[in-house]
Amino acid sequence: MTDANVISGTYADLRQVKSRGVWQLVIDVPAEYAERLVKLFGLPKQDQPTHLAVAQLKGSPEALDREAQGRAVNAGTPASQASVASGETVKRQRTLPELVGMRCNDGHFITWLLDCGYVEGPDDSPAIIVRRECGVASRSEILPGTEAAERWNKLETQYLMKTGRMAEPR
């Protein structure tokens, strides 16, 4: 797995430690992950426990690894559905241009653009207006960290506040 703090392994054993009133969960991790495991979580210390969570992974580790790489590219955006090689459906992050495109198809957004005077001519579509307002030739150029993304965020924030979908700052 390539997620920052995720290492896949297999559930190997469950042992009761009666003297401490706990159960030990044994997870077998491939030897090549040993160094990374220690780097991420350190060595176990009784006086300073490292708290971890356990989750069952659906699909093969290879398919999950490909999905994790996709999340790293699209980090910070809402999730949608996508299929992986294993045939299972997993979450995929939408890119900013995808989100902009979805907003341009939103009837409320289109009405707001009309009401606020963004339409300059009869051929102005939401896509044309957004490209003009963001200063790009294509919505695919609206990428995180760019001037176009900042302009888009201002436009969308204005829309959300004016339509009551976001509280206005006090």
Query: Would you kindly state where each structural domain of the chain is located, as residue ranges?
Result: 10-93, 96-162
Instruction: Determine which helix (DSSP H) or strand (DSSP E) holds 141, and give its type and residue range.
Output: none
Position with higher pLDDT, 157 vs 20: 157
Compute CA distances 53 → 62, 73, 140, whole Å.
21, 24, 37
Q: What is the pLDDT of residues 72-92, one digit of tens each?
A: 444 444 444 444 555 556 667
Extract the tokens encoding 82. Answer: 């996508």
Task: Indicate the pLDDT class of residue 53, thresholds 50, 70 and 90.
Answer: confident
pLDDT of amino acid 78: 43
Residue corresponding to tokens 């996709």: 70
Task: Indicate the pLDDT class of residue 59, thresholds 50, 70 and 90.
Answer: low
Beta strands per DSSP E along the chain: 10-17, 22-28, 79-83, 89-93
Answer yes or no: pTM beyond 0.75: no
Q: What residues are paired with 15 via a beta bridge? A: 24
